[in-house]
Structure 1
Amino acid sequence: MSNLLSLRGVHTHIGAYHILHGVDLVVPANQLTMLLGRNGAGKTTTLRTIMGLWHASQGSVTLDGQDITQKPTPEIAQSGVAYVPESMGIFSDLSVRENMLLAARGARKLDDIDTDRLEWIFGLFPAMKKFWLHPAGKLSGGQKQMLAVSRAIIEPRKLLLIDEPSKGLAPAIIQNMIEAFRQLKAANTTILLVEQNFNFARQLGDSVAVMDDGRVVHSGSMAELAADEALQARLLGLSLGAHQ
């Protein structure tokens, strides 16, 4: 199995702070890789380093065989990477429609967007069609998260980087999000997803990497981690079984 993304010995400094301490991480193509770990372990910094928002001070980031370690964020985005931050990054004063049109880099007007793809997104997230002309800032938290993901997938991407998509969402909306990611997986979308909801992680993850103190301390099959409560307790301080 080929790896779409590889991080080798990545160190990241933010000002005087040394956040990542030699991260080694691979993301297999056409799979969903979960990035788990306690708060402050370095998960968000890893995503931001991949996206070029912060640059690695040492080590390498390789995407589809190309070194992107020091490339600027717009160039990384143009190479087919979309990033959904924990803050969601939507434009609150713009409508859902306008947010989607901005995200479709190849479209200057709505008619330029692939109609079949837009209808597919409406199938994943019906609220996007219902609130198409509404200001994004008026949406609920769950609807804003749906919009953030919809923006990321309005065009085909090589890689999706998604930071805690279920945070603060009601259980019914989380289940809707899980089903949407299942469909993305079925369409052979490569995803690296940071998540604190372990039931969410277990249902979706193919592979998993666990971070602690700025390093990847475990990598392997998500199913194997989900089945090994002793390993869960050692790596994460809790059991996935307690979050069913």
Structure 2
Amino acid sequence: MSAATASPTAGPVRGEPLLTLEGVHTHIGAYHILHGVDLSVPRGELTMLLGRNGAGKTTTLRTILGLWRASQGRIAFAGRDITALPTPQVAGLGIAYVPENMGIFADLTVKENMLLAARGARRIEQVDTQRLEWIFGLFPAVKKFWNHPAGKLSGGQKQMLAVSRAIVEPRELLVIDEPSKGLAPVMINNMIEAFAELKRSGVTLLLVEQNINFAKRLGDGVAVMDNGVVVHAGAMRELAEDTGLQRSLLGLSL
């Protein structure tokens, strides 16, 4: 079938925008944090959101999820305007968020944390067994410490649990704030491998990251923020190979 006669019911195409922000402003109290953010996250790819501390990266993620409300502009997911949707409805569309503090329940076991994240299950037996085994393959520590209190896990193990909770049900978009923060190099390598596998499975990822080597190894695309706006967007490879651009945007070299 030629392109001209292709079926109009064909499925979504890898690389087309899954999430877009157009001219998004966000105020938090008296503070004007985002000043017109334009961002495109292609389907099936991993997009890195970089920038100096205070550039507006976390505010951008929280605005996407509806945790903070955009005061101006438009946010669209899979062609649907989600700008004014409350957070539970945004999550219900297939977007999962892992905040910087990971948001796990320290007094509950790993299993109980996972069950809470599986909205369609009241007992762990109701969670998709094949999906759990897939998650255990990505993060073996989740299986190893299944019945342990989550608060007793190491920092890297808590991060793995946080991501596992986010994907215990199928998601189209995974939004993660600084997944490598405070992790040992071996844990960072494990996280990179897991994210690469998630991308191969068809999940789209948007990551805020300060670890530049992490970003360089994993990112397909990159957007750099400064003072509440995106000042650069393009291929991660191009930024990684251009030391002059790195210094001008980030004040450092990859």
Tell me the TM-score range normalised by the shorter chain: over 0.9
Which residue is equivalent to 1:200?
Answer: 214
2:125 pairs, out of 99, 111, 123, with: 111
1:144-170: per-residue Cα shift (whole Å, max 9, x none)?
000000000111101111000000000
Q: Residue 67 of structure 1 aligns to which amino acid in structure 2?
A: D
Moved more, 111-120 or 86-95: 111-120
Alpha-carbon separation, structure 2, partners of 1:156 and 1:223: 29
1:158-208: per-residue Cα shift (whole Å, max 9, x none)?
111100000000000010000000100111110100000011001110000
| 1:207-222 alignment runs, 5 A limit | 207-222=221-236
| 1:19-98 alignment runs, 5 A limit | 19-98=33-112
**Aligned-pair Cα RMSD in Å:** 0.6
Deviation at 1:39, TM superposition (A): 0.3
Alpha-carbon separation, structure 1, partners of 2:169 and 2:214: 25
2:135 pairs, out of 121, 132, 147, with: 121
Bigger-Rg structure (1/2)? 2
Which residue is equivalent to 2:165?
Answer: 151
2:246 pairs, out of 227, 232, 236, with: 232
Question: Residue 57 of structure 1 aligns to a residue in which SS?
Answer: strand
Deviation at 1:212, TM superposition (A): 0.2
Which residue is equivalent to 1:174?
Answer: 188
Question: Residue 24 of structure 1 aligns to a residue in which SS?
Answer: strand
Alpha-carbon separation, structure 1, partners of 2:143 and 2:205: 24
Deviation at 1:22, TM superposition (A): 0.2
TM-score by length of 2: 0.94
Alpha-carbon separation, structure 1, partners of 2:253 and 2:203: 29
Q: Residue 234 of structure 2 aligns to which amino acid in structure 1?
A: G
Alpha-carbon separation, structure 1, partners of 2:40 and 2:126: 35
Q: Give structure 1 regions of 4+ aligned residues with deviation exceeding 3 angstroms.
A: none
Deviation at 1:96, TM superposition (A): 0.2
Deviation at 1:209, TM superposition (A): 0.2
Deviation at 1:109, TM superposition (A): 1.1
Q: Residue 66 of structure 2 aligns to which amino acid in structure 1?
A: G
| Paired residue total | 240
Alpha-carbon separation, structure 1, partners of 2:167 and 2:135: 8
Paired-residue identity, %: 74
1:187 pairs, out of 198, 201, 206, with: 201
